[in-house]
A and B are shown apart, each in its own frame.
Chain A
Amino acid sequence: MAARPDSEDIAMDDAPTSHQPEVKDDTMVDDAGEDVEEEEDYEEEEEEEEVQRVKLLPGSTETAASFEFSNEGHTLGNALRYVIMRNPEVEFCAYAIPHPSEAKMNVRIQTFEGTTAIEALEKGLRDIQELCDVVTDKFVAAADDFEKKKAATA
């Protein structure tokens, strides 16, 4: 690897030894706080108190960053990798599941100058949403057409 004198990488001993959360079981605390909530809240708001599921991994710079997604897998990982790779501002994108028994998925994004890795990831997530809208529209239209044709021939 080429030496980078102005590297923004953090020093070895500053980096955590593991990507496991340092505060053990912070989810437990959240749950305990929620128990106080009223029952209506439970019913109305099925989404739990949002836990931060996206993390920037140490060693990341503006244009070259690794993200850690908790509770995501190949389903989102590969789809996200694909749309991010379709971004011409992105030099490199890949995803990995470092260990099968940890529910974690990492995405590495390196961009050219002019944009940032975070922007590229955000655009990727937006692109997926747009794509889903198109798929839904076309699918519903095709299903309706098929129903009509079937009714016409019957």
Chain B
Amino acid sequence: MPHKPPTKEELEKRKIVGVNLETVTDVSSTDFPGHYPGEDHAWDIERFKRGFSVEFHQNDPHEASFSLIGIDASIANAFRRIMIADVPTLAIENVFVWNNTSVIQDEVLAHRLGLIPFTGGREGLTDFLKWYRKPANGDPAECKDFNTVALELNVKCEHNENADPNETDPTKLYHHAHVYAKDIVFKPIGRQVDYFSGEDIIRPVNPDILIAKLRPGQEINVQMHMHKGVGSDHAKFSPVATASYRIMPTITITQPILGRDAEKFQRCFPKGVIGLEKVTAEEAAQKGSGYEGHEGELKAVVVDPKSDTVSREALRHEEFKDKVKLGRRRDHFIYLVESTGQWKSDAIFLESVSHLKAKAKALEKQLVNMVR
């Protein structure tokens, strides 16, 4: 039997994961050679190029949202995982406590300091700063200008002589009652002044992060060393607060939903997903459309499936039975990348792509080595 090439509808249908009342259907991708007899599903970069697109929804330094369309989950997930765990950032790694008479224990203080996100000149952070190699046991640390950033925090809480005698607010009664991230001072070494000065200075992303509270006589005097690291080692090195994707929801209304039902249907979805439109004379005139005799009534239409949460609420109601189909587009990923501030959100994604490429390249070289 000669093979019939799949129709456009068939190809679209293959992309949809069914979300039913109690079950899900067609969960795995089927675009592999041999899955459909007679069809060519071999990997072809030109075909991928034609089918792949990127769409931005938001692109701010601290938050970006975009869709990758026409890509497999395994690749999309690799990007997500790399963004969280493999894109390097600079964070406080060592804290040298000279004096800490606050109520926060040294180790807790060190941990808090480590989690503060810092930022600085991009060129210095990516190109100038290199990995810090932990010295072998017993060897002295090798802290150089190209692998270590030094910081200092030196605050002492004292009485404020000018405070009102009836004052009860500690921040007015004392100097430095609260220690904030902005109290941390960057101490450039060597060539670091060339890369991290002016607006490129190493600084906390948010100056108002509370580190500790002090009372008169208490003081914190610590030095800190920052190194480059990756999220797989410690979450403080992760460049993102969240990097996640949702799969594009689809809502297909198969039979007209009219009048009061349409309003109820709208309420089954988040705001803006379902719209209400008047049935036109044209539609009402069309035989077998289901709109006959309903001219002027309200009908439910899908306006913005992207905002849907796929709660399946609509499937619970008898009146919508067989009138709606919910699903998801298997190859449409809506990413949300929230940067902690050291990288721009879109740059984190680009870095994840080049990281995957570098990984594949290194392993290709290794494979050639292995064969030799």
Contacts and interface: CB of A to CB of B under 8 A. Distances in A.
6 closest cross-chain pairs (CB), A and B: A86-B43, A132-B357, A146-B56, A142-B54, A88-B33, A82-B74
B190 to A, nearest CB: 11
Interface in B48-63: 48-49, 52-56, 59
Given A43-B130, A138-B52, A82 B367 contact: no
A135 B59 contact: no
A132 B353 contact: yes
Interface string A55-90: 110000000000001001011101111110111100
Contacts of A138: 52-54
B74 A78 contact: yes
Contacts of A43: 130, 144, 146
Interface residues of A, number: 52
Nearest to B136: A31
A122 interface: yes
Nearest to A74: B81
Contact of B59 (A75, A125, A143): A143
B361 interface: yes
Interface in A40-56: 42-43, 46, 50, 52-56
A83 B363 contact: no
A78 B78 contact: yes
A9 interface: no
Contacts of B45: 127, 130-131, 134
A139 to B, nearest CB: 5
B36 interface: no
B49 to A, nearest CB: 5
A113 interface: no
B72 interface: yes
A139 B163 CA distance: 57
Nearest to B142: A42
B54 A139 contact: yes
A125 B363 contact: yes
B93 interface: no
Interface in A111-154: 118, 121-122, 125-136, 138-143, 145-147
Contacts of B295: none
B346 interface: yes
Contacts of A85: 32
Contacts of B43: 83, 86-87, 127
A78 B77 contact: yes
Given A56-B370, A78-B74, 9 more contacts: A42-B142, A50-B366, A129-B361, A136-B350, A140-B350, A141-B54, A142-B66, A146-B56, A147-B59
Interface in B310-347: 346
A31 B133 CA distance: 11
20 contacts: A31-B136, A39-B144, A42-B133, A43-B144, A53-B366, A54-B369, A72-B363, A75-B77, A75-B78, A75-B81, A76-B360, A76-B363, A79-B75, A85-B32, A88-B41, A125-B361, A126-B364, A129-B357, A133-B357, A135-B54
Nearest to A135: B353
B262 to A, nearest CB: 32
B303 to A, nearest CB: 21
- Specify which of B59, B368, B369, B370 lies most central, judged by the most chain A CB atoms within 10 Å of its CB: B370
